[in-house]
Amino acid sequence: MPILNFEPDLYPPPLLDDPKLGVETGRHWWAFYLRSRQEKAFMRRLRGLDIPHYGPQVTKRTRSPSGRERSSFAPLFSGYVFVYGDDEARRAALTTNCVSRCLEVADGAQLTHDLRNLKLLISGGAPVTLEAKLEAGMPVRIRSGPFRDMEGIVLQRRGETRILVAVRFLQQGASVELGDYEVERI
């Protein structure tokens, strides 16, 4: 199976920059849980229908048996794509034949905040790791570097210090490795 090139994971590109996002009336965030391996096809169809969405993707690097390094673009939250719109957009998205379930997000402002932080974390270029569960930890703010002023929770794993950016709706998050000197307690 060929490795596909990167496809846009955010449509329209300035979607997360809108200050009214997640708080305006009549439009909601919806979390679409999709059939297996349908994330990119679903986002292509949503773009064709002009429906705003975000399905965060990260670069995965693997080595072939011959030793060549390959890069692919995989969904960060396997099986999920976030759609922003009204009931008409939700109904249109359901017609794509990719959807298993559709969940309305109760706190759109919180999800918008989480998705903005996640997009910033991914665009920083550091390797991002999916964290399956939110764990209790110390809340911190990053002091320097490309993620300056971003807030998160510190995780300690296998001797590494990682900062977690959570998407609370899914009870999952993404983390990036940082040094202790780069964060300060809130």
Domain count within the chain: 2
Same domain, 73 and 2: yes
Same domain, 80 and 161: no
Same domain, 183 and 100: no
Same domain, 96 and 133: no
Same domain, 5 and 81: yes
SS3 183: strand
Provide the pLDDT confidence category of residue 61 given band limits of 50, 70 and 90. confident
Lowest mean pLDDT among 21-25, 47-51, 119-123: 21-25
Q: What is the pLDDT of residues 130-181, one digit of tens each?
A: 875 544 477 888 877 788 888 888 777 666 777 778 888 888 888 888 776 6
User: Which of 87, 106, 123 is where one domain is finished?
Assistant: 123
- Contacts of 11 by beta carbon, 8 Å cutoff, 6+ apart: 43, 46, 47, 51, 52, 53, 54
Q: The domain that contains 132 carries what CATH number?
A: 2.30.30
Tell whether the model's pLDDT for residue 38 goes beyond 50. Answer: yes
Same domain, 175 and 105: no
Q: What is the pLDDT of residues 122-138, one digit of tens each?
A: 998 888 888 755 444 77
Domain, as residue range, for 137: 126-186
pLDDT attached to residue 1: 47
Q: The domain that contains 83 carries what CATH number?
A: 3.30.70
pLDDT attached to residue 136: 47
Same domain, 26 and 117: yes
> CA torsion sign, 148 to 149 to 151 to 154?
positive
Same domain, 13 and 70: yes
Same domain, 118 and 182: no
Same domain, 142 and 109: no
pTM for this prediction:
0.79
Same domain, 101 and 131: no
| Contact status, residue 101 vs residue 33, Cβ threshold 8 Å | yes
Same domain, 108 and 153: no
Report the DSSP pairing between strands 53-54 and 80-85: antiparallel
User: Distance of alpha carbon 57 from its chain centroid, rounded?
Assistant: 7
> CA torsion sign, 7 to 88 to 27 to 36?
negative
